[in-house]
Structure 1
Amino acid sequence: MKKKYGVLFVCTGNTCRSPMAEGLLKIKLLGEFNRRISVKSAGILGISGSSATAHAIDAVFDYGADITKHVACGISEALLKESNLVLCMARNHREYLIERFPHFQDNYFLLKDFAAASKSAAPDIIDPIGATLAGYRECCQIIDEEIERILPVILRFVDDKFSN
C-alpha cells in the first residue's frame, strides 16, 4: 500500500486552532481521499496530553466535526517527516519551524496564503484562547472558509502523488 499524503496543521498549543482545522478537514474528506490522506495537528509549544478547549469542541461541532478525543501533541521531526503539507496558523509558527526544522521548509505554508492568488493582508489566524464561544466560532468560520478554498488544491496534489 502506498504511503498516505500527510497534511499537518500547526498552531501554538494544539488545543484551539490546529485541532479545529484537523477536525474540519477530516469531515470534508470523503471516500477514496479519506483513505489516501492523513490529517494531523501539533503545537510549537511542545505541550502534550491536553484536550482541545471546550469552546473549540463546541465551535467545530456546529460544522459536524467531533474533536472530543483530541489529545494535544508537540511538533516533532517525526511528524514533519510524514507530512507533505504543513499548514501554519500564524507567521510565528512557520518561522519557528523554519528555524528548528529547516530541512522540511518547502512544505511549510500559512493556511491563509497557501494556494492564494496573492498574499493575505492579514495572514495570521488569531488565537482564540481565552475568548468567548463567539470568538471561537468566528475563528472556526475563518478556518473552515480557508479549508474550503484550498481543498481542491490538496485533492489535486493527492491525485498527482498517487497517479505516479
Structure 2
Amino acid sequence: MESPSPAPEHVRILTVCTGNICRSPVAERLLQAGLDQVLPGGFVVASAGTRAMVGDPMQPPSADIVRTFGGNPQEFAARQLTGKILRGVDLVLTMTSGHRGEVLQLDASLLKRTFTIREFARMLDVLDERDPAPQGPAGDPLAANTAFWRGLPARAAAVRHLSLPADSSENDIIDPYRRGPETYRQMEDELAPAIVSILRHARLNAPS
C-alpha cells in the first residue's frame, strides 16, 4: 500500500521592517486577515525586524490601523530577523530597499523572492492589468495555491520594468517610530494601497 502523499504546505510570507513594532506588524496582520478570506489555511504571514525591539507589542497607533482595516493586533511580540526565520519563506516583503539589502545579507538565496512591499504591489497591478480576469489554478486548492504563489515572484519580476516609480523613494514605507500621528497617517497611506493590491491579486487568482 502506498503511503499517503504529504499534505501541501501553506504559502509562507514574511514582512520586514526595523523595530518590528510599527510597519511590518501592520503588514503582517492585515495580509493575514485578507488572505484568510481568500483561502483559509492557505497562508501563514509573519514578521521580523532588522533591529527588533524584541518582545515589544506593536505600537498603539499601528494597532489602531490594524483594527481599522479588520485585523487583529493582539498577542504580537517583536522578534529579531535571523537566517533561521528566513529559511523556507516563499516571499519576503520589506518596508524599504535598505531592509531588502539586510535580508539578502542574511540569505542571498532569497534574491528572487524578496521585494519592497510597494514595489511588489505595483508589479501585481501590472499583471492584473494584463490579465484582468485570470482563471485561478485548478486542482487541490492548497496545493494549487502554493504552486501559484511560489511561481509569483518570477512572474512579478518579469514586469518590473513596467512598474518602476518616478522616484526610488516610492519603494519605501516611512518609519513613524517616535513621530507624531501625521507620520502614522503617512505610513498608512503608503502601506494600505500596497496591501490592497496584493489581496486583490490573491482574490483574482484564488484556486478554482
Q: What's the TM-score once normalised by structure 1's chain length?
A: 0.86
> Structure 1 CA distance, aligned partners of 2:184 and 2:200?
25
Contact 2:83/2:106 (8 A) holds in 1: no
Match of 1:136 among 172, 180, 184: 184
What do the CA deviations read for 1:134-157 (whole angstroms, capped 9, x no partner)? 321331232121011122445678
Q: How many Å apart are 1:76 and its aligned residue?
A: 1.7
> Structure 2 CA distance, aligned partners of 1:31 and 1:153?
13
Report the number of matched residues: 160
Q: How many Å apart are 1:14 and its aligned residue?
A: 0.3
The 1:36/1:86 distance shift into structure 2, 3 A limit, reads: same
> Structure 1 CA distance, aligned partners of 2:97 and 2:20?
16
Query: C-alpha root-mean-square deviation of aligned residues, in Å?
Result: 2.2
What do the CA deviations read for 1:13-41 (whole angstroms, capped 9, x no partner)? 10000001111112212446231101011
In structure 2, what residue type is equivalent to 1:119?
A: L
> Structure 2 CA distance, aligned partners of 1:84 and 1:158?
17
Question: How high is the sequence identity, in percent, across the aligned residues?
Answer: 28
Is there any run of 5+ residues in structure 1 with no aligned partner, and where? Answer: none
The residue that corresponds to 1:58 in the other structure is 64
In structure 2, what residue type is equivalent to 1:67?
A: P
In structure 2, what residue type is equivalent to 1:118?
A: S
Task: State which drifts further: 106-115 or 116-125.
Answer: 116-125
Contact 1:24/1:63 (8 A) holds in 2: yes
Match of 1:119 among 164, 183, 188: 164
Matched, 1:27 2:33: yes
Match of 2:77 among 50, 71, 83: 71
The 1:148/1:31 distance shift into structure 2, 3 A limit, reads: closer
What do the CA deviations read for 1:81-118 (whole angstroms, capped 9, x no partner)? 23101001001100111122212222110111115241
The 1:68/1:21 distance shift into structure 2, 3 A limit, reads: same
The residue that corresponds to 1:149 in the other structure is 197
Q: How many Å apart are 1:46 and its aligned residue?
A: 4.2
> Structure 2 CA distance, aligned partners of 1:37 and 1:126?
26
